[in-house]
Structure 1
Amino acid sequence: MSWSNLIVRIQQKVVGLLDYESRCHLRTCSKDDRDVVDSTKFHASKLKIEEFPSDMSDGKTIIRCDVDTFTIWFIGKENITKVDRGWNGEINEEISEIKQENRYDVMNRFFEKLSHRGVIKVNSLDLESLTFPVADSIKIKCNCLKIINIQDNHHMEWIRNTDPFSQKFKKLELRCWGDTRELSEVRKVLDVSESLDLDYETEFTDDELEKIEAMNLTMSSTMITAEGAKRRLEAFLRHGKKEDVLQIYFSIRDDFQYSELFPQSLKIKKLKREHEQEGDYYGKVFRGFENIHGVDDPREIDCISFGLKLRQTLYRGKPIRLQMSGNLDNWPKKGFSKYNNLFEFEYKSSEKSSKKNRVQRSESASFGASKSLST
């Protein structure tokens, strides 16, 4: 039986299995095929939207949207827009066109075509360096959400218009450095099941930290105490998977002792290493914890002092980092990096370090970072 002889309901089931590129090709075959494609819900694997300035003219920007293997570019300023299309990042000039409209209006019409009854469904949504809010007429459902450097505080509008498929996101990464006060009031930020990466001052308390389900966690808060970090460490040792990372930035008292952070049940052996200085602590955890995923190999623990700041690392295949500061002047004013930039920022912010110590600290930090990344 040929394709044209199939009933519409069967054709829709077939179209529902196609990726976006295949749907686009089928849609151009005939009016009937176009109607079948347009009437079938589309669930993309990944949607990525990013915006960057054009080198050709002031005020001109390029908006790039990747839908699986299909890419569409909206290039322009004011009321003229060039639309390029292609696959796998390669432009097909034969289907490029110029529209006498604002690029944001053209883009929103494209989003409306992606949606079904006003809802776009994707598994993973990545948003980067956008200068515009999401249209009120569009809602997005996804499992994994990444928002990086959304300008003019539009990140809250994108978050409000984006919901998880079920009750929780699987993965959520927010790297926004504007006004983040509203973020702590959005429950969906805390309700993440697998991975949560928040690159801003969250002001989360010990109780809020304890309620976070995601074991793969990166966050910063001046409200978290050493006791709260200790409880989180215990939870991570028990529930964390091999590939998970725990990285928390928090404040400590001037008389803080390492013993306050480590559960008494842990069996830790202190070891010597190159470039170790006063206040550093390096060792291995051999026993004293049970992991529900069977992760029971010895874990290295690495605590390095940067003036009034400490970095504590505990890892097996992936690191656990607990960044502690007793001086809020040393607190990161912007986002922090997971690896080399983290160390660079720390030793630069320590005003008490001599030039010689800074060189040694940089070498030591590079050693620790490369070891963490290679395991």
Structure 2
Amino acid sequence: MPCWINLTVRMKQDIIGLLDYESRCQLRSCSKDDRDTVDSTKFTASKLSLVETQSEMSDGKTIVRCDLDTFTIWFIGKENITRVDRGWNGEVNEGLSEIKQENRYDVFRRFLQKISINGMIHAHSISIENIEFRPPEEWKPKCVNLKVTNIQNNHIVEWLQNSFVFSRNFKKLEISCWGEDEGIGELIPALEITDTLKLNHETNLTDEEVERIKAIDLNVSSHRITVEAAKRIFERFLRLSKKSDSLELRINCPEGFDFKTDVLPGHLNVKRFKKDNEDRGEYYGKIFGGFENVHNVYDAREVECIIFQDSMRISCEVYERSTNPCTLWPF
């Protein structure tokens, strides 16, 4: 039986490529040759998450937490003093903690360099949340699922631009941040998104651009999307959606608009439910049939159109009965 030291470098790299981050770290500490072999082997994490939180102990002090599969590293500090904690499964290993006389963001950048191969960080799914600093030059990930939430200080476009250097094809892309930044919409047409696209910003996407998006699980806002395009997107959703998919479009509401006649196909089996204080053109109902679905998902669909002065929100998803118990109080 061959032993490890007798294997060729290529064979070792093939084996290392199957290891998770924790196992790679342990192997890397065995010898200089093992360290060099590990460092030269491409690593693709299952998931990578990056979160920054404010410290409750000191003003200006933040905690940058990075989870890489089961490994976690914390960069804690302010100005030029940083405590680095490491651990697995969210638990700190005190024996691996250290203090560095450097800014936490500089220490974080060096960590990114360590997990990069040829300047690229490989991960299947990436989540970025509550970040207050600009993206470091070393942040150039390659992933298929990306979720970006609440990027602070108007840095959202910079983080996205860096994230899209090597990543152009996504299964899922979700962007949810405070404020309005139309620069986000300018980045979307260059991407290929197949399953899910959730954007809570105004995107300025045109009919052609939004209809080119392959994702069926869709949440998009654009004042340039016409009612005619919204109807086509709605019909496509009924035909191609899976049970977990949902559709939400936020578009301009033209004068005299009526959802039932302008968007809802006449061949559908629909039951309308009037709501209190419903404005003209608004609609709430359930679709029980009258459409074809490629995934054989024929559950009832809940459909709604709410008008906000000169704009409106159109939504559709599989209707789920409430699982909350009903309590009848004695009178």
Residue pair 1:50, 1:129 contacting (<8 A) in 2 also: yes
Instruction: Determine the structure 2 residue equivalent to 1:173.
Output: 174
Partner Cα distance (1:240, 1:164) in 2: 30
Instruction: Determine the structure 2 residue equivalent to 1:64.
Output: 65
- The Cα of 1:55 is off from its aligned counterpart by 1.3
Partner Cα distance (1:51, 1:138) in 2: 15
Residues 130/112 of structure 1: CA separation in 2 closer, same or farther (3 Å cut): same
- The Cα of 1:8 is off from its aligned counterpart by 2.0
- 1:279-358 paired onto structure 2 within 5 Å: 279=279, 281-302=283-304, 313-316=315-318
Farther off after superposition, 101-110 or 275-284:
275-284
Instruction: Determine the structure 1 residue equivalent to 2:88.
Output: 87
Instruction: Determine the structure 2 residue equivalent to 1:250.
Output: 251
What is the DSSP-based 3-state SS (H/G/I as helix, E as strand, rest coil) of the residue aligned with 1:153?
coil
Partner Cα distance (1:283, 1:138) in 2: 46
- The Cα of 1:25 is off from its aligned counterpart by 1.2
Instruction: Determine the structure 2 residue equivalent to 1:118.
Output: 119
Instruction: Determine the structure 2 residue equivalent to 1:270.
Output: 272
Residues 296/213 of structure 1: CA separation in 2 closer, same or farther (3 Å cut): same
What is the RMSD of the two structures over their aligned residues, measured on CA atoms?
Answer: 2.6
Name the amino acid aligned to 2:37.
Answer: V
- The Cα of 1:313 is off from its aligned counterpart by 4.6
- The Cα of 1:164 is off from its aligned counterpart by 7.9
Identity value in percent: 52
Partner Cα distance (1:45, 1:249) in 2: 33
Residue pair 2:251, 2:311 contacting (<8 A) in 1 also: no
What is the DSSP-based 3-state SS (H/G/I as helix, E as strand, rest coil) of the residue aligned with 1:10?
helix
Partner Cα distance (1:297, 1:179) in 2: 36
What is the DSSP-based 3-state SS (H/G/I as helix, E as strand, rest coil) of the residue aligned with 2:288?
strand
Name the amino acid aligned to 1:148.
Answer: T
Task: List per-residue Cα deviations over 1:193-215 (Å, max 9, x = no partner).
Answer: 11001011112233322222110
Task: List per-residue Cα deviations over 1:72-93 (Å, max 9, x = no partner).
Answer: 0000111111000000000000
Partner Cα distance (1:284, 1:317) in 2: 8
Partner Cα distance (2:147, 2:278) in 1: 39
- The Cα of 1:97 is off from its aligned counterpart by 0.3
Gapped regions of structure 1 (runs ≥ 5): 319-367
TM-score (normalised: structure 1) = 0.78
Instruction: Determine the structure 1 residue equivalent to 2:327.
Output: none
Name the amino acid aligned to 2:81.
Answer: I
- The Cα of 1:121 is off from its aligned counterpart by 0.8
Partner Cα distance (2:316, 2:54) in 1: 41
Partner Cα distance (2:13, 2:273) in 1: 64
Instruction: Determine the structure 2 residue equivalent to 1:8.
Output: 9
Instruction: Determine the structure 2 residue equivalent to 1:336.
Output: none
Instruction: Determine the structure 2 residue equivalent to 1:215.
Output: 216
Residue pair 2:252, 2:310 contacting (<8 A) in 1 also: no
Residues 189/167 of structure 1: CA separation in 2 closer, same or farther (3 Å cut): closer
- 1:103-252 paired onto structure 2 within 5 Å: 103-163=104-164, 167-178=168-179, 180-187=181-188, 191-252=192-253
What is the DSSP-based 3-state SS (H/G/I as helix, E as strand, rest coil) of the residue aligned with 1:256?
coil
Partner Cα distance (1:301, 1:371) in 2: 20
Gapped regions of structure 2 (runs ≥ 5): 325-331
Name the amino acid aligned to 1:43.
Answer: T
| Number of residue pairs matched by the alignment | 320
Name the amino acid aligned to 2:62.
Answer: T
Name the amino acid aligned to 1:54.
Answer: S
Farther off after superposition, 162-171 or 65-74:
162-171
Partner Cα distance (2:284, 2:179) in 1: 37
What is the DSSP-based 3-state SS (H/G/I as helix, E as strand, rest coil) of the residue aligned with 1:218?
strand
Name the amino acid aligned to 1:28.
Answer: S
Farther off after superposition, 239-248 or 62-71:
239-248
Name the amino acid aligned to 2:270.
Answer: I
Residue pair 1:196, 1:218 contacting (<8 A) in 2 also: yes
Residues 164/217 of structure 1: CA separation in 2 closer, same or farther (3 Å cut): farther
Residue pair 2:145, 2:170 contacting (<8 A) in 1 also: yes
Instruction: Determine the structure 1 residue equivalent to 2:328.
Output: none
Task: List per-residue Cα deviations over 1:344-369 (Å, max 9, x = no partner).
Answer: xxxxxxxxxxxxxxxxxxxxxxxx9x
Q: 2:261 aligns with which of 255, 259, 262?
A: 259
Residue pair 1:286, 1:299 contacting (<8 A) in 2 also: yes
Task: List per-residue Cα deviations over 1:293-344 (Å, max 9, x = no partner).
Answer: 22234434345677888665543257xxxxxxxxxxxxxxxxxxxxxxxxxx
Residue pair 2:175, 2:200 contacting (<8 A) in 1 also: yes
